[in-house]
Each structure stands twice: as C-alpha cells, then as structure tokens.
Amino acid sequence: MGSDPSLVVSAAQAASSAARVAGVHASEHLLFATLVQLVIIVLGGRLGGVLARRLGQSAAVGEIVMGLLLGPSLFGLLAPELFAAVFRSTPPQTLTMLSQIGLLLLMFQIGLEFDFAHLGERRNRHVVWWVAAAGLVAPFGLGLLFAWWLPPAYLTEAPRLAFALFVATAFSITALPILGRILMEFRLSRTPLGVITISAAAINDVVGWLLLAMVTALSTAAFSLRDFAVEVALVLAFGALSWWVIRPPLERFVAWRLGRGEAAAGGGAGPATLDPTLMGVIIAVIFLMGMATFQLGIFAIFGGFMAGVLLHRQRDFALAWQERVGSFVQVFFLPIFFTYTGLRTDVGSLGSASAWGWCALLITLATLGKFGACWLAARVAGLSGPAARLVGILMNTRALMELIIINVGYDLGVIGREVFTMLVLMAVFSTLVTTPLLRRWLPGLRGDAVLAGAP
C-alpha cells in the first residue's frame, strides 16, 4: 500500500522548516554569545585603560593587562565554569576573525603613522644610528643564545633554527606606536631626545618587520633554500611594485577625494573629510594587499602595514583617518586583539620553578639586550649618562608590536604555549616599567641639550 504523496511532501516541508528554525536559533545563539564576549571585552578594555591612566601608566598597558586577566590566567582560574560559558561555549573562529581584521586595520594605522622624515634629521643622526644598530644587534644575539640554550621540552616540532630566529626577532623589536604615545604624553616628541628615540625605533621596527617576514618565509618554505629565495624575491618584488607602481596613483586618488571633500565643506578648518568612496577604496586596498601578502606566503598583516606605509606622506589623510576611524579601531578592535592574546596566554602553563627561571632569564636577557645596549650606544655616541638612560628605557618598550609578533609565531607553530607566555610577560614587563622610570628619571635631566624645545 503506497504512501500518500501529500503526506510525504508535508513531512519534507516540516523537516525543512524545522532545519531552518534550528539554523536560525543556532545563528542567534552564536550572535548572542559573541555579543556577550564583545561587551565584556570592550568594557574591560576601557576599564583597564582608565585605571592605567589613574596609576600613571599608558592606557595601552591597562588594555594589555586586562586582556590577560580575561584569559585563563585569572578569569579562567577564579571562575572556570563562567569562563568556559563566556569564551569556550562557542567556536573560537568568530573572535579570531574579528581580531585578525582588527589587526589588519591596526597595522594599516601603524604604517600610516610611520614618519620616515625623522630618519633624515641631521641633529643627533650619529646617535640615532648607533642606538638603532645596538638595539638590533645585541638583542638579536642574546635571543639566539637563549633559544639555543632552552631545553627541548619547551620547543615545538618546528626546526630549531626557525625557533631561534623567531625568538631573536622578538627580542629585537620596539613598540613604535606606544613609544610615540609616551613621547607625546611627556611632551618630548619635538625634542632631540624624542627625535633620537623615535628615529632609532623606526629603524628597529622596519628591520624587525623585514626579519619577521624572512623568518615567516623561511618557516613556510620548510627550509628549502630555493623556495625560500623565491619567496623572499617575490616579497621584495611586491614591495617594489607597491611603492613604485601602486603608490603614485593611490596618493593622487586620495588627494583628489580629500580635495573634493574640502570643497564640499567650504574649505573650513578641521580634519579632512573621508567620504564613503574614499573609505571604501582604502578599506578594499588594505584587504587586497593583505590577500596578496597571504598568497605570497607571509601573513596578511604585512599587507595592511604596507598599505599604510604607501600613504604615510598623506598627512591630511592620516589625520582624518585617525579622527574618523582610528578611535573606533582603538576602542573596539584593539581590546579584542589583547583579549585574543590573553585567551592564548596561561601563566599556569609555567607550572614549575624551572619554567619560571627560564622566564626570568628571558626577561633579563631581553631587557639587557635592548635597554643595556641602547644605553651604552648612546653613551659612546656622546650623550650624557641620564640622557642615555632615558633613551635605553624608551627603546626597551615593546608592548603591542611584541604581541603581534609572538601571535604570528604561535600561529606558525614556531613557538609553544610556554614560550608564548614567557614572551607575553616580557612584553608586559618592558612596557610596564617605562612610564614610572620616565617620571623618576626625567626631572634629573632638566637643562640637558637633549630636552631643547621641551615645554
């Protein structure tokens, strides 16, 4: 006896409708869970920034620390069930993608804020090159030694050479964006001291990103010399193509759209206008360049950084972007990235005295390599002891740039959780001590020539 066709159709429709309802409920559940995470992250980031300011620290320090506290190191330790319900009950891909998109936009802003004109400053140029060279060579060498000494238990399956080069690169970086904020906060950005440190930090960061790109290419090429050479050549070709071919028309387009915006606004004072067409094109360029560097075998963030560098001379655009878009990136995306890092950082993973000993050694060597070498180089180049000390502590600031680099290494599988945690703690420590030591040491430098022009 055959089935009634109408009943079969009705059952199929009911099943399809139930599947759609289930899909809607699943999507709504994912959205709800993500919104809960974002509310906690954004408000936590703001709270951390405000508290840091009140304690005399940079707001970024509070945001970084709050991101760590929201991870398994504190929140997960004190309330494991609630932590799991908030951050582990849904797939991590949503938060991961938001953090990566935010990081791409943030790297664009970092590239946009690079002021390469500092490198042409004649005053104290001799000191700049001494400090920049010492701030690269000494930490890199100490990072290599530390990576070779570290017991095999802390290594991943990645080749030891890749691990050593990555740790050495992480030791060498300086956090240019945070350093710039600190110099502006202390009104040092237009003094010789500010010019020296920001110029040396710019050189450090440019070389550091090139080193990271090479280490990334070296890791993904599985140490095939031919493949690695081809990959490096393609990256260099992409950089040349971007600078000599893409940059000129892009700069003209930006200037044209800004001119149209000023004309429409009557040429009034204030930040330039970012019209929807200009914003749409720039965002598309950022994403396209990120896609290009990904296809070249290095991370998409390099494309975002390159896009910013291409437009760093367009100061009206840079100011307008910071005014209209930058604050949203800082308030929304940056705390997501810090929390994303915090969720990967588990201080409890350093569960033995030996692990904490290696962590202390890492922090000591990284500080000695950056602070000590830059202080010594500044003294050799002719600065006074107090001035050289300030240059050293400013160059030792790592913060955001360090966190970006170590996340790259973790994603590549070059470093494991324990070393990741050690490097995060080093980044936090190096940034945490900068502002208090500046407040303590700066008054003793009044009247020194390196503070000429300070208010």
Kindly report, residue by residue over 140-162, the tens digit of the pLDDT: 999 999 999 999 999 988 888 88
Q: Vertex 373, ends 370 and 375: CA angle to 5°?
A: 100
Spatial neighbors of 72 by CB under 8 A, at least 6 apart, are: 83, 343, 345, 346, 348
Over residues 33-41, the mean pLDDT reads 93
Cα dihedral 237, 240, 242, 248, rounded to 10, equals -150
Q: Each residue of 80-129: pLDDT tens digit?
A: 999 999 998 888 888 888 888 988 898 898 788 766 665 566 666 788 89
Question: Which residues are within 8 A (CB) of 164 and not within 5 positions of it... i.e. 6 or more apart?
Answer: 143, 144, 147, 148
Secondary element (H or E) of residue 86: none
For residue 379, the model assigns a pLDDT of 92
Least confident of 10-19, 340-349, 411-420: 10-19
CATH number, domain 93-451, options 1.20.1530.20, 3.90.1150.10, 1.10.10.10, 1.10.357.10? 1.20.1530.20
Report residue 73 as tokens. 């190191």
CA–CA separation, 367 and 363 (whole Å): 6
Return d(Cα 260, Cα 316) in angstroms, integer. 13
**With helix as H, strand as E and coil as C, how does 165-179 read?**
HHHHHHHHCCCHHHH
pLDDT single digits (tens) 328-361: 888 898 888 888 888 888 888 888 899 999 999 9
Domain boundaries, the chain: 93-451
Exposure class string for 23-39: b at 16+ Cβ within 10 A, else e: eeeeeeeeeebeeebbe
Half-sphere exposure of 167 (CA within 13 A, CB side): 35
Phi, psi of 157 (to 5 degrees): -80, -5
Q: Note the pTM of the prediction, 2 decimals.
A: 0.77
